[in-house]
Amino acid sequence: MNHPTSSEPTHDSPPNLQGRLEQYVRALEASGHRGSATPHEERAADYLVQQLQQIGLEGHKEHFRSYSSYGARILVHIFVGVLGLAVLPWSTAIGALLSVVAFASLQAESITRFRILSRLLPTSQSCNVVARVPASGGQVARRLILCAHIDTQRAGLIWSALFVRPFSYIFARIPGPLRAPLFSLTLALAVQIVLGALIAAGVKITDYVAIALSIYYAGALLLVGQWSIGKFVPGGCDNASGVAAALVLASRWRQQLPSDVELVVLLPGSEEVGSLGAAAWLDANQANLAKTPTRFLNLDTLGYGAPHCIATGCTLSGPQYRYPRDLLGRCAAVAERLGLSDAVGSGPPTPTDGVAFLSRGIPGLTIMTFQKGFYVPNLHQMSDTAERMDFDIAAQTTEFAWEVLQDLAN
């Protein structure tokens, strides 16, 4: 298989760019899934280190501890919530405490800041692939982080078109934390905390609230439980497409090194289990990042619909992060120059690695593609393969991302 090299021109013709993107995507698919914290993810990381070397960059792997199932991380919160509800009639204090712990842990883990209840689960080794492109002048005035996650999600009924398509448009339109896919779990735990407080205060509570919570938990256990042990998907669009685009952009960047801007290529593992790879790298490099003004560009799912720069970083459980208005405005100007309409605004209510950056105060942007109604076909399904991707859209989005990356460097 022939791979792109640094001797190629900075800008590809559209057919050539599509071919390069497809080549990378198919190569990543070829070894099977890239499930979080699995040997398959490690093999994909080895392949990416080789590709970075072929474009003239010294890529390397950085390991950290992670999980192979986001569903399992959510499931442990549901179990603790169920236990708290069961204990409430006999010990209000213990039941309320369990409810508070489940609620607080869900929020903290959702924004990638702390792991609390997930520490009860066994961990496995995951890895990030990292390469640095130093400023040609030696003096670094600014730093850009180009990010695209390696790993793939598990399939489950919760991700089927039956569930996702009807709710994608609704979730993306409703305000604030209500648009989070697991806000219902946040709400259930909050109601449970209030229920415990009322019982402790001597207020008589009907059994209907407890029955409603029990029904909710039963449904959640079934859906999340089935997802937690689902098969890993091929991940053509999500996110071999983003990784492929990052490799192309890194190759272009290397050919026209700015004098005072350092580029970090960060290809994280374990995004699909809560952005743990990006979080691990950011926390490990916190001191160094604070010394130099830093921005990020995150690329995720670039193969369906139309290019978009999303305005809000969503979490699964409720908290939301607004991307910087000034950067969104500059991105909108780039989109207008390229003739892209409605390219900046709301997006699907699904988390990306952008949350890990924004929750740590690092400004930047996330570019992805989706169809009308904020729908991403084949998301987290076994049908997410290169055969179903639109490489014309992937190439168009890569060009959009290149212009945005250059604008961020200024």
The pLDDT of residue 258 is 81
Can you name the CATH fold of 14-66+126-156+232-409? Aminopeptidase (3.40.630)
Rg over CA atoms, the chain:
22
* Locus of tokens 């209000």: 92
pLDDT tens sequence across 71-108: 999 999 999 999 999 999 899 999 999 999 999 999 99
Nearest to 356 by CA among 95, 110, 71: 110
Nearest to 158 by CA among 74, 241, 91, 77: 74
This prediction's pTM: 0.93
Rounded Cα distance, 179 and 172, in Å = 6
Q: Which residues of the chain have pLDDT under 50?
A: 1-9
Structure tokens belonging to residue 263? 């580029």
Residue 27: CB partners within 8 Å, gap ≥ 6?
A: 1, 47
Give 334-343 contacts, CB < 8 A, sequence gap 24+.
Answer: 334/400, 334/403, 334/404, 334/407, 335/307, 335/309, 335/400, 337/403, 338/399, 338/400, 338/403, 340/306, 340/307, 340/400, 342/306, 342/308, 343/306, 343/307, 343/308, 343/309, 343/400
Rounded Cα distance, 165 and 161, in Å = 5
The domain limits of the chain are: 14-66+126-156+232-409, 71-119+161-228
The pLDDT of residue 350 is 86
Rounded Cα distance, 60 and 126, in Å = 13
Rounded Cα distance, 95 and 35, in Å = 36
Rounded Cα distance, 209 and 314, in Å = 29
